[in-house]
A and B are shown apart, each in its own frame.
Chain A
């Protein structure tokens, strides 16, 4: 199994160059402001490639305002790295890659922005509890696991899908493998939700800095734990009962990405379906990152 490192912060690049990894993926799932300029990305690629590490680029989910700038970066990256894998987090980017003639020069990969299931909900067991066991199994399916979705992915040249390592997705992941898709699983990290708003900048009252070299605002995650529910129709909040609060996990927010850290069991049968595991540099310190990569390498 190959090991890939997800890199958002190029200031840490020297930490990463000597890690025991096969590839790196540079970019972001959903924030165009966290993309480095094309020449900075290409410079980082050069450093990794000179160490024998393969490179990949991730295009963030792009609202219309950002689309052409992000596509422009994709184009520059592809033109300098023919055959590169480009992770897309919205279907518009996938469409543009094919329609604007880039498909012959790159390999699109489905990213977490468009890859999910109800199992990504941290309290899905409670939401599903009244359904029959058979129905629960059907509801715990990957959103792209169907013949027609896979036909669409094939039409757009997709051969690889990024997924979360979720215990109940075995049938979906088996189906993807049987249909020729490579799977790339996020270790220790599940993306629960993606927003357009930068929750972190809003929390600090720094909305006016968004887009203006704002990468430092969200360099450290903010940890949140649910305490009060919202009552939709009277717009009030009530304290969540203790026994319910205890089943709601702490979440981490990186700008507009909300995730749950959950250490992946290296003996999980799900790992057998994976071609690559991704270790996300955002959630590890310098020391723990190398240690985790070694644990995966030795499993």
Chain B
């Protein structure tokens, strides 16, 4: 019998970790602050976003979080998934990784093949997850990563359900997909970066643009917004396709309670599937008020068709 699908939740503090565990997270992912950078980090998030400290504050906090996860049988992924690290910073990067491993992390998330090779060369044997910044669009890339010693891959936001059915068939590789929020372009090969310094520079894929198309000119167009945000209704399809892990974003979430409610909502749908309930039955049971209070779910995602893995206008525009 196939293993149950797991929910991976973001965390950045002991309290947020407890909320995520209570909400039903099977795994959490986190990063550790460092003093080498002011705004950047050794992982895929800046140190601070919108005044929220995104990284775990220090090693002692990291140890406490990992211990709490261990007590609750929750696995921890330590993020070391910067797009790349310059050769001059490799020693500091390896030191950073060692802290995560010493604290007891179960997985390391890495997003550059050279760094994976470096980590293995140094005799570090922790299971590696290839992160979404790697942009892994096909089975051949997954096989290449398997040869490099990777155990799990995070697929791009725009992989389709049909594609997942074949990408999950590669022996010895676990598949993780984003089930909540995402980018409109190939994250990793998208340099429309939001700024950790200037709040006016947000993620370029979601910004509004003045558009000139031939003689036509339009204002306030969400021209690059090809992101899909919610996979609740696709959970049965994802489980049946053989996906191993559902990832929820939000290390930068200003309110950890809200983020844990999102985790709880996904947990409810996953548990419902295994209990034989249909998505429609679960939706019926959840009150509209409950859906509204969860980041205004119904109008924001359902009414606007921000569905992942469904035939929405955005998904139809996939090449």
Report which A residues bind B (CB closer than 8 A): 30-33, 61-67, 90-96, 99, 113-114, 116-118, 120-124, 126-132, 135, 137-139, 141-152, 175, 192-204, 207-208, 210-211, 220, 222-233, 235, 237-238, 240-241, 244, 248, 253, 255-256, 258
- Docked complex Cα distance between A131 and B252 (Å): 20
Q: Inside 8 A of A113's CB, which chain B residues have their CB?
A: 135, 189
Which residue of chain A has the shortest Cβ distance to B255 in the bound complex? Answer: A233
Q: Inside 8 A of A192's CB, which chain B residues have their CB?
A: 190-192
* 0 or 1 for each of B180-206: is its CB under 8 Å from A? (1 = yes): 000011100111110111111111111
Cβ-closest 5 pairs across A and B: A149-B114, A92-B140, A197-B226, A92-B141, A228-B208
In the complex, the answer to whether B38 meets A92 with C-beta atoms within 8 Å is no
Q: Inside 8 A of B318's CB, which chain A residues have their CB?
A: 63, 196-198, 210
Q: A64-B159, A149-B114 are in contact. Are A240 and B223 (CB under 8 A)?
A: no
* 0 or 1 for each of B71-95: is its CB under 8 Å from A? (1 = yes): 0000000000001111111100000
For chain B, which range describes its interface: under 10, 10 to 19, 20 to 34, or 35 or more residues? 35 or more
Smallest beta-carbon distance B221→chain A, Å: 7
Which residue of chain B has the shortest Cβ distance to A205 in the bound complex? Answer: B313
In the complex, the answer to whether B319 meets A33 with C-beta atoms within 8 Å is yes
In the complex, the answer to whether A194 meets B118 with C-beta atoms within 8 Å is no
In the complex, the answer to whether B201 meets A229 with C-beta atoms within 8 Å is yes
Q: Inside 8 A of B186's CB, which chain A residues have their CB?
A: 61, 193-196
| Stretch of B20-28, B96-104, B212-220, B275-283 that contacts chain A | B212-220
Please name 8 further chain A to chain B contacts, defined as beta carbons within 8 Å, in addition to the given A63-B318, A127-B196, A146-B114, sorted by A numbering.
Answer: A92-B140, A114-B189, A147-B114, A197-B158, A222-B223, A227-B207, A229-B202, A235-B300
In the complex, the answer to whether B114 meets A63 with C-beta atoms within 8 Å is no
Q: Inside 8 A of A63's CB, which chain B residues have their CB?
A: 137-138, 156, 158-160, 163, 318-319
In the complex, the answer to whether A230 meets B192 with C-beta atoms within 8 Å is no
Chain B, 256-288, CB within 8 A of any chain A CB: none
In the complex, the answer to whether B138 meets A130 with C-beta atoms within 8 Å is no
In the complex, the answer to whether A139 meets B40 with C-beta atoms within 8 Å is yes
In the complex, the answer to whether B166 meets A64 with C-beta atoms within 8 Å is yes
Q: Inside 8 A of B37's CB, which chain A residues have their CB?
A: 131, 135
- Docked complex Cα distance between A138 and B114 (Å): 16
Which residue of chain B has the shortest Cβ distance to A93 in the bound complex? Answer: B140
One of B88, B137, B221 near A90 (C-beta < 8 A): B137
Q: Does B36 contact A (CB under 8 A)?
A: yes
Chain B, 110-149, CB within 8 A of any chain A CB: 112-115, 117-118, 121, 135-144
In the complex, the answer to whether A230 meets B317 with C-beta atoms within 8 Å is no
Q: A139-B86, A143-B83 are in contact. Are A90 and B316 (CB under 8 A)?
A: no
